[in-house]
Structure 1
Amino acid sequence: MTTPALTPVPSAPARARPGKRLLSALPPSGLLGLAIVLFWLVVTVAGPAMAPHDAAAIVDPEVFGVVSAQFPLGTDYLGRDMLSRILYGARYTVALALASTVLASGCGTLLGLYAAVAGGWADAGLSRALDALISIPSKMFALMMVASFGSSVPVLILTAAIGFLPGAYRIARALAVNVQAMEFVQAARARGEGMAYIGCVEILPNMIRPVLADFGLRFVFTVLLLSGLSFLSLGVQPPEADWGSLVRENIGGLPEGAPAVLMPALAIATLTIGVNLLIDNLRGKRKDA
């Protein structure tokens, strides 16, 4: 009795890793935004180690020096290397904005989920309280906080986080209310699942992309708010400096077009443009099944 030949079964194609799927889904503008964001994140972490000079060292007798091989971004109003100043300043501009945005979006999303799932008086109370807070302009609220508690890193982080929390709550609640009306959420309620399970397992995964897009947008707003406070001398205080402080302290070189005032502004612009390009393309390319 002969044994029939076995036909080899083709192996299932390996699934692409999440990182590769993300890169393949992003269009060229999204990849450019991702590259800019990653560049500034690396600078935030490794900026002081990459800086050719100490941020406070006066390395050139000429103030508002032009771009040269020795000083690629020129020198400031005291003769300090602007490249080193920008690399050191990224720690405050990016790190403070990132910490504030994580706090605002995280708390706003959790509160929005709770309000949508709980409903009733909890939803109404949270919404009315945060409506009262959102009615205060963010810059006015920041000025009140700095005037009351002084300017320090914790105060700046909490100020930006509290100021942008109501907007994050509103977005998260609206998304959660739409998702919870779907049949699979109603089925989970009928099974007797608790609020934590419904919110974190059933609703949150189905609203994560819009929440991430909102996170990127709030990060941009936070960068601009903190840089604006520093430009008004109400943000990061000397001897430390963020990019907004660098623009303010070198504003005297603006009439002559000094690189010292243009380069920090360019750094803020590239960061915000990069984040906007990334979040605009966060949905990626849609593929036909």
Structure 2
Amino acid sequence: MLVNGKSLGAILTHSPGTTVGVILVSLHLLNALFAPLLIPYGETQLVGQPMLEPGHANFLLGTDVIGRDFLSRLMMGGRTSITVAMVGVLGAVLIGTFFAVSAAYIGGFYDDVIMRIVDTKLSIPGILFVALFVVGFGRSVTVLTIVIGLSYFPGAVRTIRSQAMTQVPLAYVKAARLRGESTLSVIFRELTPNVVEVVVVEFAIRTSSAILIVSALSFLGLGISPPTPDWGLMVSEGVNQIYQAPWLILFPAVFISTLVVGLNFASDGLANALGLDAARGLHGG
């Protein structure tokens, strides 16, 4: 498979950092996918004494503050965080791509309206917007996914539109117009395929940020509701036991960090391999 004239394998192994990033992200995705089949106990099941230390014969990573298997909750917590972040950002990037490309191509009043909406949203701090939305509409997985999408939509539009603007004056777009292709045909068949690389990098970069937002909300008590496991929530639950049971904070923090670092390494390597370094500077929101 070729992307921008390079094989997928060459892109994924572009640098040691890229390879490490891809491996870390892949491990987390595999865990999220297969966790329900691999966990030794139910993630909400009380199975032992509270705060048993890691290395216990029946509980590899010990138990939490009320006696639930910590390994099971850690594995399932990744499933929740990754689903909310990735689905929310995917929706933002896919819908944002249409508005970005159409704004770049149509221009004029339509472009002005789209960009004024984008600028207005970007003037609001992301974490504040998400927190206010969750307070107003609840903290279910569905609400969190929607608000993550709304939060990252404007930034995605701005970045992808910038790339689309470089494509609009090119000969292949002019040729499509001369052939009498409709506006939607030019947008979907001509322009969109030529911004796919930016879309993919945008998705990876914003997903790493979304993971941190989801975890921060849960830590502050505005994210996933207990007893559903979530990495940020697990850190919050372990704060008061930091001296007696430091692993309650350490393990979820390591999982959050490795996923975010992996996504950053992978997105940086992908951007460099595809020659999109300049596009990184266009990100906002």
TM-score (norm 1): 0.87
Q: Is the 8 A contact 2:77 2:229 kept in 1?
A: yes
Cα distance, 1:256 vs structure 2: 4.4
Query: What does 1:240-259 align with in structure 2 at a 5 Å threshold?
Result: 240-256=228-244, 258-259=246-247
Query: What does 1:1-289 align with in structure 2 at a 5 Å threshold?
Result: 17=1, 21-25=7-11, 26=13, 27-63=15-51, 65-68=53-56, 70-256=58-244, 258-283=246-271
Cα distance 1:116–1:37, how it changes in 2: closer, same or farther (>3 A)? same
CA distance in 1: counterparts of 2:2 and 2:42, whole angstroms: 39
Q: Deviations over 1:197-239 (max 9, x none)?
A: 2222222222211221111111011111111110011111012
Cα distance 1:205–1:94, how it changes in 2: closer, same or farther (>3 A)? same
What is the number of residues matched between the two proteins?
270
Instruction: Extract unaligned runs of 5+ from structure 2.
Output: 275-285
Q: Deviations over 1:239-267 (max 9, x none)?
A: 21211111101112223462111101110
Q: Is the 8 A contact 1:73 1:260 kept in 2?
A: no
Q: Is the 8 A contact 1:64 1:258 kept in 2?
A: no
Cα distance 1:18–1:69, how it changes in 2: closer, same or farther (>3 A)? farther
CA distance in 2: counterparts of 1:140 and 1:244, whole angstroms: 17
Cα distance, 1:41 vs structure 2: 1.2
Q: Is the 8 A contact 1:97 1:222 kept in 2?
A: yes
Aligned to 1:14: none
TM-score (norm 2): 0.88
Query: What letter matches 1:124 in structure 2?
Result: D
Cα distance, 1:272 vs structure 2: 0.7
CA distance in 2: counterparts of 1:218 and 1:172, whole angstroms: 13
Query: What letter matches 2:76 in structure 1?
Result: Y
Q: Is the 8 A contact 2:41 2:69 kept in 1?
A: yes
CA distance in 2: counterparts of 1:62 and 1:257, whole angstroms: 10
SS of the aligned residue for 2:7 comes to: helix
Q: Is the 8 A contact 2:100 2:160 kept in 1?
A: yes
Larger Rg: 1
Query: What letter matches 1:164 in structure 2?
Result: Y
CA distance in 2: counterparts of 1:77 and 1:169, whole angstroms: 43
Q: Is the 8 A contact 2:208 2:263 kept in 1?
A: yes
Structure 1 runs (4+) greater than 6 angstroms displaced: none
Instruction: Extract unaligned runs of 5+ from structure 1.
Output: 1-16
